């Protein structure tokens, strides 16, 4: 087995291809979806194959979604019975690579984790970087949602990474490549197989190929590699706080205008915080000036 085949991830070059090669309406709405690269990491980290998916040839509906293949026989759900503590929470399906972390077989001097992975009798070192604010994000999502890690990478890599990453035991379950549906060259995460109400599931993923069966359940995130100034996860927290309180995620995510409004609300929230901070600074400066003026008059 090729060592690079155990991880499913994207590349910087493929960031430019998504808007022209992927049919989902979500791509145009959010302008932040990124496809995974088929290359060095294509077996451990893989989700996407090159080539367009054309609606008139593949049966893809106009909105870009694809009907999942029928389940033969009795349905076997991927998730265990919901815990009593999560009974009234929605389910959040969270991707790993380029969503929460970025990994490389090439040495990274400032790696947060170094994970040994045995492949065909040889141990390879995988260097892992944590996305900025990932700890705060996971802690908060664990309070609001029943969180599930769902990655197209292999368990021999992703499981030890999750052990190191999930310090609050947020993930109620971990699903790996074998839980994906291999459809038209892509590893797809079929939310129908989770055993949860689709109206109460949201998937957070940087690759639109992963949620092609359920684009209206998706909150796309920008692919992350090494930008230390990235604030994507932090900026999304207000959105997910709001989403956790609605009756159905479709009332928020099923159309472009709603998603646009939610994305705008995150930006607006940050602007409000900045304005409040500036106002507080101005008030403090005025108080200081008044205090200095009073001291001068008393003198």
Annotated catalytic sites, by residue? 95, 97
Picking from 96, 130, 92, the residue whose alpha carbon sits closest to that of residue 110 is 130
d(CA 67, CA 187): 14
β-pairing verdict for 171-175 and 218-220: unpaired
- Residue 177, exposed/middle/buried by CB under 10 A (0-12, 13-18, 19+)? buried
Exposure string of 265-299, with b = 16+ CB inside 10 Å and e = fewer, is ebeebeeeeeeeeeeeeeeeeeeeeeeeeeeeeee
d(CA 21, CA 154): 26
β-pairing verdict for 186-188 and 201-205: unpaired
Q: Which helix (H) or strand (E) holds 130?
A: strand 122-130
Strands (E) in 196-271, as ranges, are 201-205, 218-220
> Kindly report the CA angle at 205 between 97 and 209, in degrees rounded to 5?
95
Q: Are 210 and 114 in contact (CB under 8 A)?
A: no
Q: Are 191 and 213 in contact (CB under 8 A)?
A: yes
Reduced DSSP (H G I as helix, E B as strand, rest coil) percent helix, strand, coil of the chain, to 5: 40, 20, 40
């Amino acid at each position: 087995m090729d060592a690079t085949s155990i991880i499913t991830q994207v590349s910087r070059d493929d960031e430019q291809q998504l808007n022209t090669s992927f049919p989902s309406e979500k791509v145009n709405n959010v302008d932040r979806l990124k496809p995974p690269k088929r290359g060095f990491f294509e077996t451990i980290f893989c989700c996407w194959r090159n080539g367009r998916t054309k609606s008139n040839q593949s049966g893809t509906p106009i909105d870009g979604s694809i009907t999942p293949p029928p389940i033969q026989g009795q349905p076997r759900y991927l998730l265990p019975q919901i815990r009593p503590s999560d009974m009234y929470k929605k389910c959040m399906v969270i991707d790993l690579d380029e969503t929460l972390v970025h990994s490389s077989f090439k040495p990274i001097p400032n790696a947060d984790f170094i994970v040994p992975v045995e492949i065909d009798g040889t141990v390879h070192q995988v260097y892992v970087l944590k996305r900025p604010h990932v700890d705060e994000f996971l802690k908060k999502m664990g309070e609001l949602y029943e969180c599930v890690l769902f990655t197209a990478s292999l368990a021999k890599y992703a499981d030890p990474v999750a052990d190191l990453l999930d310090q609050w035991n947020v993930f109620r379950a971990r699903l790996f490549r074998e839980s994906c549906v291999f459809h038209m060259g892509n590893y797809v995460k079929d939310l129908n197989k989770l055993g949860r109400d689709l109206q109460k599931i949201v998937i957070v993923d940087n690759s639109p190929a992963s949620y092609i069966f359920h684009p209206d359940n998706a909150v796309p995130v920008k692919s992350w590699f090494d930008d230390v100034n990235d604030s994507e996860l932090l900026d999304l927290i207000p959105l997910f706080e709001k989403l956790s309180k609605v009756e159905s995620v479709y009332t928020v995510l099923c159309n472009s205008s709603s998603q646009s409004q939610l994305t705008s609300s995150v930006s607006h929230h940050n602007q409000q915080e900045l304005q409040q901070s500036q106002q507080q600074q101005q008030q403090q400066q005025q108080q200081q000036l008044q205090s200095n003026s009073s001291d001068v008059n008393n003198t």
